[in-house]
Amino acid sequence: MKSYYHCLSIKANNYIWLLQDKALEITGEAIEEIENGFLIRTEKSEKYVESLKAQLNAYAKEIEAIVEEEIKLELNVSVCANEDWIAKYRNSITPIECGDYYIHPSWHTEKVDKINIIIDPALAFGSGHHASTLGCLKALSALELKGKKVLDVGCGSGILSICAKKSGANVWACDTDEVAVDSTKENMRKNGVVLDKVFLGSLNRIPQERESFDIVVANILADIIVVLPLHDFVKVQGYLILSGILDKYVSKVLAKFKDFKVISQKINTEWATLVLQK
């Protein structure tokens, strides 16, 4: 272990969770959430840290182009005396209880009266702590999943897919990010489940599955939700669970799915989760 490490502080006025996911994708390093941002600690070189800063700046610009909204990104680097910060980080991660689900990292003990889901936040996208993921978990908990056919669009870490599978559903999962698909497969193995289909890509890969899913879940940006033909893949009387939606974009999403019945509309720290029925 080196005598020092670099600590990169990332703060932004919005879309912190997307920046976290990108940082995890790029680095594989542990991150620690702070107010309005997160920290990355690494023993790698100053050149590596500068490259990481450049990649995060570029990614923020990509998000801005998609959402047509400015992201005020603050990146600061400090050099710190080394300590056992991995253990410190692990101690900072708290498990989540949501309905029947108990989501916890691999170093925490399981609960015998819960459906245990192992997700290591440092290695995956989506640990259940973000308001949009938590909203989806609550929505899934409220529905009967046993024997249902579920599609998770933008599966990330696979947390929602694995929860649905452990509740007895037939689960398909997809993501346009190869790292996310690999992460879902790794978390399948950790949780001792096999999803029915996991594939790289989006709905255009499965045109034959239109109107075949009882539940379609999409925890992605509102601008992507309104572009994807999600409604085409839900059975009549089936459900759409939509999240990753800032509250100011709710009306835009509801307008896209005006033919659906609104079952619930819940907002947690400016993030909305919608449950709609076809």
Q: What is the pLDDT of residue 84?
A: 65
Domain of 75, in residue numbers: 4-90
Q: What is the pLDDT of residue 86?
A: 64
CATH number at residue 84: 3.30.70
Q: What is the CA radius of gyration of the chain?
A: 19
Q: Specify the DSSP element, H or E, that contains 224.
A: helix 222-225
Q: What is the pLDDT of residue 83?
A: 65
Domain boundary among 36, 58, 90: 90
Is there a single domain that holds both residue 201 and residue 238?
yes
3 state SS of 22 = helix
The DSSP secondary-structure symbol of 44 reads S
User: Is 175 within any annotated ligand binding site?
Assistant: yes
State the pTM of this model: 0.71
Q: What is the pLDDT of residue 217?
A: 97
Sign of CA dihedral 220, 156, 176, 74: positive
Domain count across the chain: 2
Separation of alpha carbons 250 and 264, rounded Å: 12
Separation of alpha carbons 210 and 195, rounded Å: 19
Q: CB within 8 A of 32, min separation 6: which ones?
A: 38, 39, 41, 89, 92
User: Is 133 within any annotated ligand binding site?
Assistant: yes
Separation of alpha carbons 278 and 270, rounded Å: 26
The DSSP secondary-structure symbol of 122 reads G
Retrieve residue 211's tokens: 């109107």
Is there a single domain that holds both residue 160 and residue 50?
no
Is there a single domain that holds both residue 49 and residue 100?
no
Identify whether the C-beta of residue 187 lies closer than 8 Å to the C-beta of residue 31.
no
Q: What is the pLDDT of residue 62?
A: 93
C-alpha distances in Å from residue 11, one per residue of 38, 59, 239, 256: 7, 14, 36, 32
Domain boundary among 90, 121, 144: 90
User: Is 154 within any annotated ligand binding site?
Assistant: yes
Separation of alpha carbons 253 and 243, rounded Å: 10
128: burial class by Cβ within 10 Å (0-12, 13-18, 19+)?
buried
> Residue type for 193, please?
V
CATH number at residue 130: 3.40.50.150
C-alpha distances in Å from residue 257, one per residue of 20, 142, 150, 225: 29, 21, 19, 10
Retrieve residue 137's tokens: 């978990």
Is there a single domain that holds both residue 115 and residue 166?
yes
Question: What percentage of the chain's residues is helix, strand, coil (to nearest 5)?
Answer: 35, 30, 30
Q: Give, for all 278 residues of the chain, the pLDDT tens digit.
A: 677 889 999 999 999 989 998 898 888 777 888 889 999 988 889 999 999 999 999 999 999 998 889 999 999 999 987 766 566 667 767 888 888 899 988 888 899 889 999 987 644 455 556 788 889 999 999 999 999 999 999 998 899 999 999 999 999 999 998 988 998 999 999 999 999 999 999 999 999 999 999 999 999 989 999 999 999 999 999 999 999 899 899 999 999 999 999 999 999 888 999 999 99
